[in-house]
Structure 1
Amino acid sequence: MRVAFFLLIGKMAGAIKEIAVAHRYGVSDIVDAYQFTLTMANWLPVTMVGAFSIVLIPALVKARYAGQHERTRFILELQGWIVVLGVLLSIATYLFWPQVLQYTGGNLSAQTKQASLELIHAFAPAVLLTLVIGVCTSRLRAHERHINNLLDSIPALMILAAILVTPGNVSVYPLLWGTLLGYLIQAVWLSALARKADGGNWGWPKPGLQSPQWPMLLNAAGIMLVGQVAMSFVGPLDQMAAASLGSNANATLGYATRLLSLLIGIGAASVGRAALPVLADVQSRGNPAQARSMALKWSALMLMVGTAAVLLGWFLAPWLVKLLFENGAFTAEDTLKVASVLRWGLLQLPFYFGVLILVQLMASQNRYKLMAIIAIGNFSLKACMNVILAPVMGAEGIMLATSLMYLLSYLCYFFAVLKYGATKKTSSA
């Protein structure tokens, strides 16, 4: 409930930011560039954060029972590697962005590509900040402290502020400076909170592998990274597919995706984010049957919630898009386009909601190899469906492909949990 409360406040800030962006820029080349640059430049750091957070939280939960000195050494070594890796990736992102834009930009207009080249001045340093934010978030979640969900809204608030203080400015700079300042404030704030949660372990980050946590963590992270790379590439894959459809398809898909993420974040993400440290703690106390029972019950409940959300959202989609976005540069025609894409995206909700808790159960059981195999299968289906559906249905086909991917994911995890639980019971007997 705490996670849901913080997420609700954060998502409200995000919704207000989207209203301001729609009013100022509408469905335009600038929004195309922002959506494309955000997704493509963030892909690798978000992938790494996703992979490491899943394996890092159980390790940090175990580290809570170690001595203060051992926990401090592990965290400082972890921070050291994150800083080194983040700096290298930020430099590489900045230097190679023109080539990335050339080979993945598809049919983006010249104005969109130029705006993207300007926006990368914010998103390149944001690579380092994203990694720092991800590790600090994992540290807080390991202590079951979820204030980070509220602080996730800081970049949106800074973009909103940048738009408000620059009336009439339709260049990329309000988005650029708002994004960079938002990530910076979030990273600094989360670092202070994570340090306090870990007992105030002051010290400079220093890369090293002396902590006994590293062998297990690196082995699990390597396996998990394979699956995470596959799943996280869905975002860039969608951007490339949308770019091939022509001008403003990225912007249309982006508005629908961000609106969908608001709906997902308030409900499913709160359960998913809160579940992993709880399930990991139950597993560490030697009660896997209780963890499995909890996960299956919550999964069934979330599946029903998602189904109800689809039925309600299908009818309310045009009204919701009109209420939030139709103003200023965002026209009634844009409302119809975004609402149509949103409806097809809503079909993923039951399966996305239902699978989240099952993913956390598998992570708490260290079933990383199975998770990687399922992720590769999901990505393969998504890639095939994008190729088949996008040329026929446009942006709606991209959303439908995502819904089919989450259907496959839910079925795989559900049967894996049933089979694994049955195997454990038989072996115990």
Structure 2
Amino acid sequence: MKQLRTRLNRLHPDHKRIAQGAMRVAFFLLIGKMAGAIKEIAVAHRYGVSDIVDAYQFTLTMANWLPVTMVGAFSIVLIPALVKVRYAGQPDRARFIRELQGWIVVLGVLLSVVTYYFWPQVLQYMGGNLSSQTRQASTELINAFAPAVLLTLIIGLCTARLRAHERHINNLLDSIPALMILLAILITPGNTSVYPLLWGTLLGYLVQAVWLSALARKADGGNGGWPRPGLQSAQWPMLLSAAGIMLVGQIAMSFVGPLDQMTAARLGDNANATLGYATRLLSLVIGIGAASVGRAALPVLADVQSRGNPAQARSMALKWSALMLLVGIVAVMVGWLLAPWMVKLLFENGAFTPEDTQKVASVLRWGLLQLPFYFGVLILVQLMASQNRYKLMAIIAIANFALKAGMNLILAPVMGAEGIMLATSLMYLLSYLCYFFAVLKYGVATKTSST
């Protein structure tokens, strides 16, 4: 124990910042994921593997893909910019944040209206073999998910502002939509319509957005004022250039979720619901295991880069990546053995049958294969983002999606939903290899502009 304490004391302060941030994120994520797991138990008990769950999974993925894509792209480029603007004067910082908020509101309102208006076309062209009951339920659910588009963008901006200050309470608040859905199910016993899911989702996003906005405003020193679109801040030229490049890669990767939903919809037999249960259970492992380190690392690596020490940043990233790769391998071995037990413990009750348990566990096992590569690559992604290597990241993202799309076409007809998960695992293997060699080649470059 004494030797371990000595080793920890010898760690570089930046390693300690990542480790401490990761522990805070993991703690908040664990609480949040527990809330999500309880929600999933309630959904499984109430709805089982059914048309309602098919509709919820399809609507959630398809309606959220664009705002989530934009949040992913903007967060990666925003956090380094927000780290830099922390050292600017109060007026410049306040102006930049007001302008950001203004554009997010404008964009969010437009996307919400477009999502609601074009949803019938989405169902028609991307719904595959979804049943008429599933399509009707999705039409009702879009009444919640369309306004949630605006709320998702607001949540994403507030999250980026908090992460720039190395504050990670947002990971705990991510559980609010799950808690609201759980509450909606509990207060409507016997109601198997879409409305507990609809109202729980909408209220959850609303509460989360309001709460995060208050926390972000406090973290930024109480910068107030109404959101006002504008481009007067000195941060905009570099940010827009980087965001445009990054958005290309994020759009490519964002199609993975809708692609899986469309592929599963063509399989029929509630494949969407089966894939959804396995994916959400897998996200519990991914969230706690990898996201904790990845979310904690970007502001630290960006700060190290801004101090002019890229060699230190690369060394840190490679060490953390190797550690996370080993953690992922252990997670696969343990998860493969425990998959049926985990699914049974969480879901098998009420409308969720033992046959459903076997189907979901089988899909989950193939999804577990992605863990080592997902865990290992996440920290390398943060390093490239801290160096503004957005063009390279976009190229890798497009290559990842191309492989994923090809593997879905080949594996899904042969293996079913398991093939969709295996295709995802192969995609992350390619991603890890690309980023690993990119870090070896470019990781010590002092260039900070977009490449």
Superposition TM-score tier, normalisation by shorter sequence: over 0.9
User: Could you report, residue by residue, the CA deviation over 1:383-410 in whole angstroms, capped at 9, with x for unpaired residues?
Assistant: 0000000000000000000000000000
Aligned equivalents of 1:423, 1:111: Cα separation in 2? 55
1:41 maps to what in 2? 63
1:133 maps to what in 2? 155
Q: Check if 1:90 corresponds to 2:112.
A: yes
2:14 maps to what in 1? none
User: Could you report, residue by residue, the CA deviation over 1:102-139 in whole angstroms, capped at 9, with x for unpaired residues?
Assistant: 00000000000000000000000000000000000000
One-letter code of the match for 2:89? G
2:10 maps to what in 1? none
The answer to whether the 8 Å contact 1:307/1:349 transfers is yes
In the TM superposition, residue 419 of structure 1 has moved relative to its aligned partner by: 1.1
2:3 maps to what in 1? none
1:8 maps to what in 2? 30
Q: Check if 1:27 corresponds to 2:54.
A: no
Aligned equivalents of 2:31, 2:144: Cα separation in 1? 25
In the TM superposition, residue 421 of structure 1 has moved relative to its aligned partner by: 3.5
Q: Check if 1:408 corresponds to 2:408.
A: no
3-state SS in 1 of match to 2:282: helix
Aligned equivalents of 2:399, 2:117: Cα separation in 1? 33
**Which runs of 5 or more residues in structure 2 are unaligned?**
1-22
Q: How does 1:43-58 map to 2 (within 5 A)?
A: 43-58=65-80
The answer to whether the 8 Å contact 1:132/1:187 transfers is yes
The answer to whether the 8 Å contact 1:108/1:247 transfers is no
3-state SS in 2 of match to 1:91: helix
One-letter code of the match for 2:193? S
Q: How does 1:152-163 map to 2 (within 5 A)?
A: 152-163=174-185
1:322 aligned residue (344, 352, 374): 344
2:274 maps to what in 1? 252
2:220 maps to what in 1? 198
Q: Check if 1:337 corresponds to 2:359.
A: yes
Q: Check if 1:186 corresponds to 2:208.
A: yes
Q: How does 1:3-402 map to 2 (within 5 A)?
A: 3-402=25-424
* Pair 351,133 (structure 1): closer, same or farther in 2 beyond 3 Å: same
In the TM superposition, residue 247 of structure 1 has moved relative to its aligned partner by: 3.1
Aligned equivalents of 2:293, 2:236: Cα separation in 1? 28
Aligned equivalents of 2:257, 2:104: Cα separation in 1? 23
The answer to whether the 8 Å contact 1:242/1:250 transfers is yes
Detail structure 1 runs of 4+ shifted over 2 Å in the superposition: 421-425
Aligned equivalents of 1:365, 1:251: Cα separation in 2? 40
One-letter code of the match for 1:320? M
User: Could you report, residue by residue, the CA deviation over 1:137-164 in whole angstroms, capped at 9, with x for unpaired residues?
Assistant: 0000000000000000000000000000
Aligned equivalents of 2:275, 2:223: Cα separation in 1? 44
Aligned equivalents of 1:396, 1:198: Cα separation in 2? 45
| Percent identity over paired residues | 89
Aligned equivalents of 1:327, 1:247: Cα separation in 2? 20
One-letter code of the match for 1:254? G
* Pair 110,327 (structure 1): closer, same or farther in 2 beyond 3 Å: same
In the TM superposition, residue 423 of structure 1 has moved relative to its aligned partner by: 6.5
3-state SS in 2 of match to 1:62: helix
Aligned equivalents of 1:97, 1:59: Cα separation in 2? 35
Aligned equivalents of 1:423, 1:129: Cα separation in 2? 38
The answer to whether the 8 Å contact 1:109/1:247 transfers is no
In the TM superposition, residue 422 of structure 1 has moved relative to its aligned partner by: 6.6
In the TM superposition, residue 267 of structure 1 has moved relative to its aligned partner by: 1.1
Aligned equivalents of 1:422, 1:265: Cα separation in 2? 29
The answer to whether the 8 Å contact 2:59/2:138 transfers is yes
3-state SS in 1 of match to 2:269: coil
Q: How does 1:414-425 map to 2 (within 5 A)?
A: 414-421=436-443
The answer to whether the 8 Å contact 1:159/1:177 transfers is yes
Alignment RMSD (CA, Å):
0.9
The answer to whether the 8 Å contact 2:327/2:372 transfers is yes
One-letter code of the match for 1:270? S
- Normalising by structure 2, report the TM-score: 0.94
Aligned equivalents of 2:112, 2:270: Cα separation in 1? 28
One-letter code of the match for 1:393? M
2:4 maps to what in 1? none
- Normalising by structure 1, report the TM-score: 0.98
The answer to whether the 8 Å contact 1:162/1:177 transfers is yes
**Which runs of 5 or more residues in structure 1 are unaligned?**
none
Aligned equivalents of 1:317, 1:183: Cα separation in 2? 30
Aligned equivalents of 2:273, 2:173: Cα separation in 1? 26
Aligned equivalents of 1:422, 1:162: Cα separation in 2? 51
One-letter code of the match for 2:112? S
3-state SS in 2 of match to 1:351: helix
Aligned equivalents of 2:394, 2:156: Cα separation in 1? 20
